[in-house]
Structure formats: C-alpha cells, structure tokens
C-alpha cells in the first residue's frame, strides 16, 4: 500500500448544533438578567453629625465718655482702667481662635481718644 492509495480522513467537527445551543442560552440569560433583583434592600447607616461648637459671642469694647475721661466696657461689663482693659482682653483672647474685637466709640469722644 502506498501513500497515494491511502485515503486521508479529515475530521471536521460539526459546530452548528453547538452554536445553536449557545445562542439559545444567550437569549435566555439576556431575558433573565433584567428581571433579577439588583441587590438587597438595606438601609445604610448615616454618618453621625459632627458636634458643632456654639458660635462665640462677639467681643464689643465700648468706649464711653465719663466725667474723668474715657470709661471702658467689654460686652456690657465695666473695666476699671487701661491696664485692667489690656489684662481682660488678653484673658478673653487667650482661649479664642478668633481675634475679632468690635470697638464702639461714644460720639462725644474724639477719634484719637477712642483709637
């Protein structure tokens, strides 16, 4: 027997039924997936609200005209003199991050004495 006498057998698989089955499965999964639930109905815990500090009361320094010169008040509380005023302001602003002071001058006083 020679090589030319032998029949060569080619084995080609028939994939047409396999493709048909895959297309049917693809269609089934495409129909099922939108109907499937997306997840569990749960409630996500909310983050706790950060405690916000109470707004600080503004510091108002009133310079009033007095019989013997200027009188000083910090938020309505009288202060004896300039040295006591400086010490009181240092005490107040040592614990505050905001260094804002409002000055309210008496119209009877000159600008230089208020400044």
Q: What is the pLDDT of residues 42-59, one digit of tens each?
A: 888 888 888 777 777 888
Binned at pLDDT 50, 70 and 90, residue 94 comes out as confident
Angle of CA points 83, 85, 91, to nearest 5°: 105
CA 46, CA 105: separation in Å to the nearest integer? 49
Is the pLDDT at 5 greater than 70? The verdict is no
């Amino acid at each position: 027997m020679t090589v030319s006498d032998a029949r060569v057998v080619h084995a080609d698989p028939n994939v047409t039924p396999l493709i048909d089955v895959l297309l049917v499965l693809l269609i089934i999964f495409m129909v099922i997936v939108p109907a499937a639930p997306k997840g569990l109905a749960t409630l996500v815990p909310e983050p706790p609200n950060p405690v916000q500090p109470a707004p600080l009361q503004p510091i108002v320094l009133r310079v009033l005209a007095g019989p013997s010169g200027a009188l000083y008040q910090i938020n309505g509380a009288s202060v004896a003199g300039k040295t006591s005023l400086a010490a009181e302001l240092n005490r107040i602003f040592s614990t505050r991050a905001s260094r804002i002071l409002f000055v309210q001058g008496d119209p009877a006083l000159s600008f230089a004495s208020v400044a």
